[in-house]
């Protein structure tokens, strides 16, 4: 382990998703070096989010006008369907929302990063952190040729998504944070975008599905794309499950079996599938049950984006939040890093000074003072109370439908 003589970057970024690429772009713009290690052969190899609000950070990172150029605009409406599609409530976010194709979105990050000279190493699977005296100084990764390589830096940013390869090593319990989700892309979908321009969510309570009575509460979703394409799927809501003895945690086979039934029969939702083609379908996960307890699980490591559970669990949106989180932490760390570099210390001395207990506490407090953190925390609290009331206490279609007016008033706060 030789941080002085090996390949060295200010930031070692694990994963080229929105969090990792934003981190690399911000670091480069501030004059710092980084390497992004991505296990796939291209950025974000598996499609994830395909809709987001048009917030200033999108223009800042990807360029003004980029988001409108790849997507179509909705007015931020969200249509919430009660179980069995008996009642509907629509809420509005009050800002422009764009739907787009993941590949076009994520490739733009790569383009911007490349233009700034950020080093991106594809087919590089990070395996574990490298530590000295309790500080993480780098990572080991398997490169394209199968060799195990080491790389060192001032900070390791775990942007590897919901499995958090580095976070897991430092005790982050992703099983408690993640919820299974089915992502499915369909074409020739049975809808007219003029009538369905919004995100649509269908609540399904525990005990409502005759073919799987112990299935966890879940939400089927429909997000329109252009040319009669749509993103559809099923989010399992696991936060209340530990307190619900009528729920059995399903394996992937059971999730797929239920999903197939929902596609064919679920009131309202199954209509979208009539004569459609299924272009993509996978079971993945999303951190929707809780945030990571620490964003710096070990001196030298910061969790960003999904690996930190930094997602708005109402609507499962994480694109904006992962970008904001990455920007904030990189900007904050570089301020101290710049001052330490000016003192002309050795690389190891710099890391020891950058990652003292007091500095970690300072970084964490500063982040927790940000509006974006407060918003995500608030949303987790709100969804906790919401899911307790609806999915745990009321639980079934009959009871949820009887209280729908009250539920609609809660949804207006989300």
Ligand X SMILES: Cc1cc2nc3c(=O)[nH]c(=O)nc-3n(C[C@H](O)[C@H](O)[C@H](O)COP(=O)(O)OP(=O)(O)OC[C@H]3O[C@@H](n4cnc5c(N)ncnc54)[C@H](O)[C@@H]3O)c2cc1C
Positions in the binding site for ligand X (CB under 6 A): 14-20, 37-40, 44-45, 48-52, 125-126, 159-161, 165, 181, 183, 223, 233, 284, 286, 305-306, 311, 316-320, 322
Cβ at position 287, least distance to ligand X in Å: 8
Q: How far is the CB of 86 from ligand X (least distance, A)?
A: 26
> Least Å distance between CB 352 and ligand X?
26
Count Cα atoms within 13 angstroms, Cβ side, for 328: 23
Contact 91, 412 (CB under 8 A): yes
Q: Is the Cβ of residue 137 or residue 156 nearer to ligand X in the bound state?
A: 156
| Helices of type H across 94-243 | 102-115, 165-169, 174-177
Q: Give least dist CB 43 to ligand X, A.
A: 6
User: Is 129 or 299 the residue whose CB approaches ligand X more closely?
Assistant: 129
Question: Between 284 and 396, whose beta carbon lies closer to ligand X?
Answer: 284
Q: Strand 51-53 to strand 97-99: parallel, antiparallel, or no bridges (unpaired)?
A: antiparallel
- Which of 368, 52, 11 minimizes the C-alpha distance to 155? 11
Q: How far is the CB of 212 from ligand X (least distance, A)?
A: 21
Cβ of 253: how many Cβ atoms within 10 Å? Answer: 9
Residues 389-408, buried b or exposed e (16+ Cβ, 10 A)? bbbbebbebeebbeebeebb
Supply the minimum distance, in Å, between the C-beta of residue 267 and ligand X. 22
Q: Which residues contact 97 (CB under 8 A, 6 or more apart)?
A: 51, 52, 53, 54, 73, 74, 75, 76, 199
Residues 6+ apart with CB under 8 A from 146: none
CB of 101 to ligand X, least distance (A): 12
Q: How far is the CB of 341 from ligand X (least distance, A)?
A: 27
Q: By C-beta, is 321 or 404 nearer to ligand X?
A: 321
Q: How far apart are CA 137 and CA 70, in angstroms?
A: 39
Which stretches of 288-397 are assigned E, i.e. beta strand?
Answer: 301-303
Q: Specify whether the CB–CB gap between 317 and 372 falls below 8 A.
A: no
Name all contacts of 63-66 with Cβ < 8 Å and 24+ positions apart.
Answer: 63/108, 63/112, 66/108
Of 15 and 71, nearer to ligand X (C-beta) is 15
SS3 helix, strand, coil % of the chain, rounded to 5? Answer: 40, 25, 35
Minimum distance between the CB of residue 161 and ligand X, rounded to whole angstroms?
Answer: 3
Whether the Cβ atoms of residue 333 and residue 316 lie closer than 8 Å to each other: no
What are the angstrom distances between the C-alpha of 171 and each of 286, 296, 305, 370? 18, 11, 17, 25
Tokens of 352: 């020891």
In the bound complex, what is the minimum distance in angstroms from residue 393's beta carbon to ligand X?
28
Between 135 and 165, CB nearer to ligand X: 165
Tell me the C-alpha distance between 191 and 196, whole Å: 7
CB of 45 to ligand X, least distance (A): 5
Question: Reduced to 3 states, what is the DSSP secondary structure of residue 64?
Answer: coil
Q: Between 320 and 367, name the residue whose CB sits nearer to ligand X.
A: 320
Cβ nearer to ligand X, comparing 175 with 339? 175
């Amino acid at each position: 382990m030789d941080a002085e003589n090996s390949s060295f970057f200010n930031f070692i970024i694990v994963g080229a998703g929105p969090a990792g690429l934003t981190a690399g772009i911000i670091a480069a713009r501030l004059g710092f070096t980084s390497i992004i290690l991505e296990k796939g052969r291209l950025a974000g190899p598996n499609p994830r989010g395909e809709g987001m609000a048009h917030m200033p950070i999108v223009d800042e990172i990807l360029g003004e006008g980029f988001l409108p150029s790849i997507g179509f605009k909705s007015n931020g409406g969200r249509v919430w369907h009660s179980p069995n599609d008996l009642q509907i409530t629509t809420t509005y976010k009050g800002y422009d929302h764009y739907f787009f194709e993941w590949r076009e979105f994520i490739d733009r990050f790569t383009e911007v990063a490349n233009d700034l000279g950020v080093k991106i190493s594809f087919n590089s699977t990070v395996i574990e952190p490298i530590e000295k005296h309790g500080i993480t100084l780098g990572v080991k990764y398997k490169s394209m040729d199968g060799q195990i390589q080491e790389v060192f830096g001032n900070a390791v940013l775990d942007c590897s998504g919901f499995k958090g390869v580095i976070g897991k090593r430092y005790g982050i319990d992703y099983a408690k944070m993640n919820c299974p989700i089915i992502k499915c892309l369909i074409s020739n979908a049975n809808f007219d975008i003029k009538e369905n321009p919004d995100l649509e969510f269908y609540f399904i309570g525990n005990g409502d599905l005759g073919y799987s009575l112990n299935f966890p509460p879940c939400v089927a979703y429909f997000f329109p794309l252009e040319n009669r394409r749509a993103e559809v799927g099923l989010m399992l809501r696991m936060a209340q499950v530990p307190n619900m003895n009528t729920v059995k945690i399903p394996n992937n086979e059971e999730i797929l079996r239920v999903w197939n039934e929902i596609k064919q029969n679920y009131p309202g939702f199954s209509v979208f599938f009539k004569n459609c083609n299924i272009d993509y379908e996978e079971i993945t996960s999303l951190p929707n049950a809780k945030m990571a307890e620490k964003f710096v699980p070990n001196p030298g490591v910061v969790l960003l984006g999904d690996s930190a559970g930094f997602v708005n669990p109402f609507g499962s949106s994480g694109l904006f939040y992962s970008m904001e989180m990455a920007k904030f932490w990189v900007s904050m760390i570089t301020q101290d890093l710049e001052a330490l570099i000016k003192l002309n210390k050795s690389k190891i001395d710099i890391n020891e000074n950058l990652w003292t207990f007091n500095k970690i506490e300072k970084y964490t407090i500063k982040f927790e003072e940000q509006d974006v953190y407060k918003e995500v925390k608030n949303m987790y609290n709100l969804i906790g109370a919401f899911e307790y009331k609806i999915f745990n206490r009321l639980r079934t279609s009959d009871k949820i439908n009887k209280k729908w007016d009250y539920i609609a008033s809660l949804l207006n706060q989300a």
